[in-house]
Structure 1
Amino acid sequence: MEIVLSKILAQIQHREDKLSSQMMPTAEEAYQMTLFLREMLCTVKSEVLKTGFKDEQQEIEFFRNIKPQILGKLIYYNKVFRIETTCPVSTGKIHQNFYENLLKNLKSEYKESICNEDFYRYYRAGRTDRDQIYFRLGQINYHDGLKSGVFEIDLSFSTYYDNKIAYIIANELLYTYMLTKINPEENPDTILQNVDANKDISWTNSQNALIELIYALYASNSIAYGKIGIRKLALIFQVLFRTPLNDIHHSFHRMKTRAGSRTAFLDQLKISLEEYMDKDI
């Protein structure tokens, strides 16, 4: 069995881009993504149960990196759907309070259930010395005093800690989503609907390419001497190109660990520019 992380991420990104281009309500988009990711997870599970893993490293890679990406996004989109379909109003103080309370609860849950755990520090530090314990089937140690959720997982398809990473991913996505809802002036969808001056300007490459460019400009202090934050800088490009960008921070972290060149778009930009220069020689 060989399930490649880059292919999984590409499939998810393609589906997100396709639904985003249809400009459907957020609740419907979240619902469609929930169905898509649930089907993907079921397909991957069937393949794993049928063929297993060729070696320990493949098993660790799957439960540390691949499954959490699918499950994390699934948890996120299902939560967004629930939020969007229970929000009492679309604007005003009640709307603001609704999302502020959700964000407060999310921060509290994150602090109590995730970031104070040893595993969270292990994962954030990028350590791998305990991967054979955390990300291989049948290695759960109940003497560690694990939470009761461990008894609800499918032990043939979970090491328990893959679920923890999935919740870390989901919570980070939810944090960005709620901040956008609380600060509508920074909501690219709202701005894009009201800006006509640049309607003929569009970004025709991938979202990841644009995010790579934005981070490069930010890291090099090329705009306003680096005094503009990454979220505001991303918003400027979203408005300019009328292109909504989802979870830029998460996309950036994926870039840092992707196979091959981590700066694929910037590498291609250099090649394209040099080829263009050579035309005039």
Structure 2
Amino acid sequence: MELNYISYFNEFEKEFEKEFESLRNASDDILVIAVEIIQYIENKLKEIFKWLKKHVFKTLQEEIYFFKELKPRMVSKLLFYKELLKVETSLPPNKKHKRKHYEESLTRIHKYVVNNKDFYEYYRSRTSVRDEDLFIRRSYKDIFKYDCYLINYDSKLSTSHDFNVATIIANDMLSGHLENKLDELNGNIKTKYNPTNNKITWTGTKVEFAEMIYGLYYKKMLNGGNIDIKEIARGFSNAFNIDLDEKALYRCLQDIKKRYPLNAIFLQNLSDVANNKFRGEDF
């Protein structure tokens, strides 16, 4: 891969992530944060697109990596904060209606998965057999083979499915946000880190924690599978300083089952984050 290409994006992403984190921690008001981040990302994407119109990738692998990995990582953040802004600014005042509002948003995400099942499974599998068809730019004469939304984009800036990847990543982030909000409404407040406690503290939600231990239980990764889920929950709750009794564990399981067909949101997102990090370091 061309040295300038690597250097450009290493520096660009480093600067981008630094400013992004700064904006994300600049206020306690999530709506203020969302507006600031949306404006910031849109400006940074303009820089990328200006560069992209002139840049010639040396190999197909370079172009695929850019449109399958690099561009979606940025665009997904923009999509997430735009959708978050839409969800939170239309939030009803009543607690019951709030719960329904968040659940309806989760349902829309699940419907997206169902409607895009083939590509969703392809992307999640991390295979590459169709990458040249999905993540290489095409001329306008070929555009009608692909999704309709592509007509609104410059063919020099987009492939047929890089936006789909960004949407999947954004939906993962949005699902986490919605799950956290539902946890708060249900009284399952996210665990806060206590610096005076000499334990490793779980700082995700109880549903995410339950998803992890159920995954280990179903995979039979502990005691060769000869252990009850309640024992695992007790052991892990003690180790990670979180209160997850039998009733809470059951409620979390019911919440996870309601997500069908996208049940293991946290584990899938965990896998995606790890794969992106591994791929980024080795590329």
8 Å Cα contact 1:153/1:160 also seen in 2: no
2:275 maps to 256
Q: How does 1:121-140 map to 2 (within 5 A)?
A: 121-138=121-138
Q: Deviations over 1:182-207 (max 9, x none)?
A: 1213443xx64xx9xx36679xxxx9
State the Cα distance separating 1:260 from its structure 2 match: 8.1
Q: Structure 1, residues 28-84: CA drift from partner, whole Å, max 9, x if none?
A: 112222122212211111111123323222111100100011111110111101211
Q: What count of residue pairs does the alignment treat as equivalent?
A: 230
Structure 1 residues 158 and 23, CA gap change in structure 2 (3 angstroms): same
Question: Equivalent residue for 1:176?
Answer: 176
Candidates 216, 227, 240, aligned match of 2:233? 227
User: Equivalences for 1:133-152 in 2 at 5 Å?
Assistant: 133-138=133-138, 141=142, 144=145, 146-152=146-152
Q: Deviations over 1:145-170 (max 9, x none)?
A: x4321211221100121111111111
1:42 & 1:77 partners in 2: Cα distance?
Answer: 17
> Which one-letter code corresponds to 1:227 in the other structure?
A
2:272 and 2:241 map into 1 onto residues whose CA distance is 19
State the one-letter code of the partner of 2:163. N
Calculate the TM-score normalised by the size of structure 1: 0.66
For structure 2, the 5+ residue unaligned runs are: 204-211, 224-229, 244-265
Listed as ranges, the matches of 1:31-180 within 5 Å are 31-89=35-93, 92-112=95-115, 114-115=116-117, 117=118, 119-138=119-138, 141=142, 144=145, 146-180=146-180
**Which amino acid in structure 2 is aligned with residue 81 of structure 1?**
L
User: 2:160 corresponds to which letter in structure 1?
Assistant: Y
Amino acid aligned to 1:107: H
Is the contact between residue 133 and residue 139 of structure 1 (CA under 8 Å) also seen in structure 2?
Answer: no
CA distance in 2 between partners of 1:228 and 1:96 (Å): 29
Q: Indicate conservation of the 8 Å contact 1:137/1:155, yes or no.
A: yes
- Which residue in 1 is equivalent to 2:254? none
Contact 1:60 1:135 (C-alpha < 8 Å) held by counterparts: yes
Identity of aligned residues (%): 20
TM-score (norm 2): 0.65
Deviation digits for residues 211-259 of structure 1, max 9, x if unmatched?
Answer: xxxx8xx97869x96437999x98949xxxxxxxxx8964652323425
> 2: distance between equivalents of 1:169 and 1:80?
14
Cα distance between partner residues in 2 of 1:35 and 1:172: 22
Shift of 1:174: 1.3
Contact 1:139–1:159 under 8 Å retained in 2: no
Task: Give the letter for the 1:38 counterpart.
Answer: E
Distance 2:11 2:189 in 1: 29
Quote how far apart the aligned CAs of 1:104 are: 2.0
Partner-residue secondary structure (3-state), 2:54:
helix
Q: Distance in 2 between matches of 1:68 and 1:230?
A: 35
Closer/same/farther in 2, CA of residues 32 and 109 from structure 1, 3 Å limit = same
- Alpha carbons 1:27, 1:84 under 8 Å: kept: yes
The alpha carbon displacement at 1:3 in A equals 4.9
For the residues of structure 2 that align with 1:66 and 1:257, how far apart are their CA atoms?
Answer: 10
Contact 1:110-1:171 at 8 Å conserved across structures: no
Q: CA deviation at 1:179?
A: 1.2
- Provide the rounded CA distance (Å) in 1 between the counterparts of 2:36 and 2:112: 27
Letter in 1 for 2:233: K
Moved more, 38-47 or 100-109: 100-109
- Tell me, in whole angstroms, the C-alpha distance in 1 between the residues paired with 2:12 and 2:232: 34
1:206-217 to structure 2, matched below 5 A, reads: none
1:186·1:235 contact (CA, 8 Å) conserved in 2?
no
Unaligned runs of 5+ in 1: 208-214, 238-246, 263-281
Where 2:137 maps in the other structure, the secondary structure is coil
CA–CA distance in 2 between the matches of 1:67 and 1:173? Answer: 16
Cα pair 1:28 1:81 within 8 Å, conserved: no
Q: How far apart are residue 101 of structure 1 and its match?
A: 1.9
* SS of equivalent residue, structure 2 residue 38: helix
User: For residue 110 of structure 2, what is the amino acid of its counterpart?
Assistant: K
